[in-house]
């Protein structure tokens, strides 16, 4: 699925100077349905924190954005093969991933979380013999798989995005769902039938992902530095999460571009 995203006017001014020599569109892979990072609004338009951020980056490059809807697990091969220029979907930077792809500096710090129904388990300690849902190939998937024996999960069910998992959780087909805490806090804030009951500390940091050693990764890393320094990233955080980012987080702190150990 390929849909052209019109760059919002609020990000155009910063990067329009080179528009007369605009390059080909910046193709960005994303797992649409990943609230609040990238999803569709009531009009069908692609919106979200990372959609806005990708638009700001593209404006600095003098390019338009084309969002390519790809399941999370397919984003890795898509950047490696050159099918897309970069990928986003709250992708965690890990040393294992850095062996085969590159990341720009992080722009968001996150943890995982356990979400349940209103009458569901109160913590991971109550998930023994229960069914947990995760997103295929995500950090939540890796964490749940690694700790399945510790908590005695009866089964791990894998989903392609938040919405199908939430449908099964609401219907009682799974007992809990492990995924990124910001996405779940955003999702359940107006849904009394669901609640986030536990933060799972993982030290995750998110960024855009690229083919290994891609020149574009270095370009985008420099652009992110500017967007942190001019307050754009802080404004996006407040827009999508309802609060200013905490001091010292990667949303407001300029960091080195990650390298494999």
**Three-state SS letters, 17-59:** HHHHHCCCCEEEEECCCECCCEEECCCCCEECHHHHHHHHHHH
Radius of gyration of the chain (CA): 18
User: Quick one: pLDDT at residue 23?
Assistant: 66
Long-range contacts, stretch 187-191, CB < 8 angstroms, 24+ apart: 187/35, 187/36, 187/162, 188/115
pLDDT over threshold 70, residue 16 = no
* Spatial distance between the Cα atoms of 159 and 137, rounded to a whole number of angstroms: 9
Of 76, 58, 28, residue with least CA distance to 220: 58
pLDDT, tens only, 175-196:
999 998 888 888 888 899 999 9
* Sign, Cα dihedral of 36, 39, 41, 46: positive
Tokens standing for residue 261: 């150990």
Place of tokens 């965690």: 92
Say how many C-beta atoms besides its own lie within 10 A of residue 75's C-beta: 24
Task: Indicate the SS3 state at residue 183.
Answer: helix
Q: Are 204 and 109 in contact (CB under 8 A)?
A: yes
Whole-number pLDDT of residue 7: 47
Tens digits of residue pLDDT in 193-238:
999 999 898 888 999 999 999 999 999 999 999 999 999 999 999 8
Q: How confident is the model at residue 40 (pLDDT cuts 50, 70, 90)?
A: very high
111/115 Cα distance (integer angstroms): 13
Structural contact between residues 143 and 167, judged by C-beta atoms closer than 8 angstroms: no
Q: How far is CA 25 from CA 21, 64, 68, 177, 181, in A?
A: 12, 5, 12, 36, 32
- Which tens digits make up the pLDDT trace of 86-135? 999 999 999 999 999 999 999 999 889 999 999 999 999 999 999 999 99
Is the model's pLDDT at 41 over the cut of 50? yes
On the question of pLDDT at 155 being above 80, the answer is yes
Instruction: Give the pLDDT score at 199.
Output: 86
Cα dihedral sign for 232, 253, 51, 210?
positive
Q: Looking at residue 17, what is its pLDDT?
A: 41
* Nearest alpha carbon to residue 138 among 202, 84, 211, 212: 202
Query: Structure pTM?
Result: 0.71
Secondary structure (3-state) at 174: coil
Using the predicted structure, report yes or no on whether residue 15 has a pLDDT greater than 60.
no
Strands, E assignment, 7-162: 26-30, 39-40, 46-47, 65-69, 86-88, 101-103, 108-117, 131-135, 155-159
Reduced to 3 states (helix: H, G, I; strand: E, B; else coil), residue 248 is: coil
């Amino acid at each position: 699925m390929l849909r052209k995203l019109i760059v919002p006017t609020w990000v155009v001014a910063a990067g329009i100077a080179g528009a007369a020599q605009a390059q080909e569109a910046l193709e960005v892979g994303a797992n649409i349905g990943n609230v609040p990072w990238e999803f569709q609004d009531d009009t069908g338009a692609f919106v979200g924190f990372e959609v806005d951020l990708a638009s700001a980056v593209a404006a600095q490059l003098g390019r338009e954005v084309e969002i390519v809807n790809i399941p999370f697990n397919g984003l890795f091969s898509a950047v490696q093969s050159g099918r897309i220029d970069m990928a986003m979907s709250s992708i965690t930077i890990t040393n294992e991933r850095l062996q085969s792809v590159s990341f720009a500096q992080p722009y968001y710090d996150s943890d995982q979380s356990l979400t349940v129904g209103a009458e569901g388990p109160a913590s991971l300690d109550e998930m023994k013999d229960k069914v947990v849902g995760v997103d295929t190939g995500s950090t939540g998937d890796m964490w749940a798989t690694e700790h399945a024996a510790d908590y005695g999960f009866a089964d791990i069910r894998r989903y392609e995005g938040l919405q199908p998992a939430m449908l099964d959780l609401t219907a009682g087909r799974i007992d809990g769902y492990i995924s990124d805490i910001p996405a779940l806090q955003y999702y359940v804030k107006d849904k009394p039938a669901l609640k986030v009951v536990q933060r799972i500390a993982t030290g995750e940091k998110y960024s855009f992902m690229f083919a290994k050693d891609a020149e574009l990764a270095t370009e985008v890393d420099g652009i992110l530095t500017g967007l942190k320094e001019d307050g754009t990233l802080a404004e996006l955080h407040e827009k999508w999460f309802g609060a200013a980012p905490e001091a010292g987080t990667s949303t407001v702190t300029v960091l080195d571009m990650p390298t494999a150990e």
